[in-house]
Amino acid sequence: MSQDNPKTPSQDKLWGGRFQESTDAFVERFTASVTFDQRLYRQDIAGSIAHARMLAEAGILTAAERDAITGGLEAIRADIDAGRFEWSVGLEDVHMNIESELTRRIGVTGKKLHTGRSRNDQVATDIRLWLRDEIDVIAAELTRLQSGLATLAQQEAGTLMPGFTHLQTAQPVSFGHHLLAWNEMLDRDYSRLLDCRTRMNRSPLGAAALAGTTYPIDRELTARLLGFDGICRNSLDAVSDRDFAIEFCAVGSLLMVHLSRMAEELVLWTSAQFNFITLPDRFCTGSSIMPQKKNPDVPELVRGKSGRVSGHLMGLLMLMKSQPLAYNKDNQEDKEPLFDAADTVRDCLKAFADMIPHIKARPDVMREAALRGFSTATDLADYLVRKGIPFRDAHEIVGKAVAAGVAANKDLSELPLATLQGFSDAIGEDVFSVLTLEGSVAARAHAGGTAPERVREAAAAALTQLAQRRPS
């Protein structure tokens, strides 16, 4: 406490001047955010150092004051890094904890740091810096997962499995093609992530509480020092906007929906009923009672965790709904959902990026399953069309052949030629080449099709494109 300030009941508060009584003990805990926003300390200190440099450039601080502040903040950062910092709930949040400690260490100069600034533009800056760093980590994990998928797709281009609609066997597809379908979903997530980063990367610093400041500040300078692409144009909007948090959760929710769809298929495919793939033991766990069990916990948990991120999206939308401009204390509630959403997305991506390259396919089982479900029925219809039969009639003919196959418990390719010819005399000896799985996929050789040669090309193209991604 400065000697020239008379002590008030809220003397320990940085804002205590106008108060006649101390804060209620419960209210102090209720309004504090330091238990969770201490996570922003690195961004808070980076923002303060940039602000101090700008104040010195503008002649508001001397070079010596700037250096004392910068040195003090760096020392505090080192102490927090090393776990040597005592956070105080009485000091409410990360911003006031650090500022008080700075003043305790370097004296009255520390009190000059907050010139031309408010916690409102400070916290808005901190969260944007924090989320920007998180997005970069998440984007790198996403790229790692996509690379794993494309590599596996290249190896498995020739592995044939049943493709499904309505979870009923539909047509044979390449396993690699299926993996590349997942990659397409994730590719869109990546571009949404970058898009969200670009819109977010503007500096609120200088908006102060809401109306800006009377000091001759240089907002472009702090923006540049902090790696922002520019400044928020309107001071009211700068302190009240949390769109970026909502956008991130929206992008994250959709990404998690994609991971949950992948997870669901992995769970199905590892079941004894499908038995299409195996996952390494190190990504599974056993049962405490059933000795035979090997449970796909990682995909199950990813599937389950997807709900959290959508929940946080809804929470943030409701948080911001109807808030008047500009800053409101409500906004303090943005952090926990945002932190948890980012942690969840990052951890789920890591789990999948680590696990997916080690999936082992069982080509024999996949093949067997594809042969069991009349998956080449469409190929037979297309064959009849090539012989001059209209598609609708061909569909009818093949439907009857399938019914015969069901009755005889045989695939179309296992029915004798004479039986097939009983349904249409357009059927010849050459029919068996289209009834094979290999013939079926090879015939779909157009762009985006499942022919193994196309899948190999698509996987190679994906890998080339992924290798060109630049870390932000």
**What residues from 57 to 96 belong to the interface with ligand ARG (CB under 6 A)?**
93
> Which of 191, 271, 287, 358 is the catalytic position?
287
114 binds ligand ARG (CB under 6 A): no
**Can you tell me whether residue 231 is helix, strand or coil?**
strand
Among 70, 203, 270, 331, binds ligand ARG (CB under 6 A): 331
**Among the listed residues 160, 172, 176, 233, the one whose alpha carbon sits nearest the alpha carbon of residue 202:** 233
Output the CA–CA distances (angstroms, integers) from residue 439 to 94, 158, 386, 452, in the order listed.
65, 12, 15, 11
Annotated active-site residue 166? The verdict is yes
Buried b / exposed e over 138-166, threshold 16 CB at 10 Å, is bbbbbbbbbbbbbbbbbebbebbbbbbee
Closest contact distance (angstroms) between CB of 128 and ligand ARG is: 13
Annotated active-site residue 424? The verdict is no
**Among the listed residues 34, 203, 225, 208, the one whose alpha carbon sits nearest the alpha carbon of residue 126:** 203
Residue (330 or 364) nearer to ligand ARG, CB: 330
Among 23, 120, 159, 169, binds ligand ARG (CB under 6 A): 120
Closest contact distance (angstroms) between CB of 102 and ligand ARG is: 17
Residue (119 or 454) nearer to ligand ARG, CB: 119
Q: How many CA atoms lie within 13 A of 423 on its CB side?
A: 26
Q: What is the DSSP secondary structure assignment for residue 74, as one 8-state letter?
A: H
**Do 309 and 253 form a contact (C-beta atoms < 8 A)?**
yes
Stretch that binds ligand ARG, among 1-9, 101-109, 227-235, 329-337 (CB under 6 A): 329-337
Whole-angstrom Cα distance, residue 143 to residue 164?
27
Structure tokens at 158: 């020739």
Question: What character string, x for contact with ligand ARG (CB under 6 A) and - otherwise, covers 121-140?
Answer: --x-----------------
Closest contact distance (angstroms) between CB of 315 and ligand ARG is: 15
Q: CA quadruple 20, 26, 29, 30: dihedral positive or negative? A: negative
119 binds ligand ARG (CB under 6 A): yes
310 binds ligand ARG (CB under 6 A): no
Question: What character string, x for contact with ligand ARG (CB under 6 A) and - otherwise, covers 9-38?
Answer: ------------------------x---x-
Specify burial of residue 213 (Cβ count, 10 A radius: 0-12, 13-18, 19+).
middle
Closest contact distance (angstroms) between CB of 176 and ligand ARG is: 48
> Which of 2, 166, 288, 446 is the catalytic position?
166
**Among the listed residues 313, 321, 320, the one whose alpha carbon sits nearest the alpha carbon of residue 345:** 313
Buried b / exposed e over 254-288, threshold 16 CB at 10 Å, is bbbebbbebbebbbbbbeeebebbbbeeebbeeee
- Positions touching ligand ARG (CB under 6 A) are 33, 37, 93, 119-120, 123, 327, 329, 331-332
Residues carrying an active site annotation: 166, 287
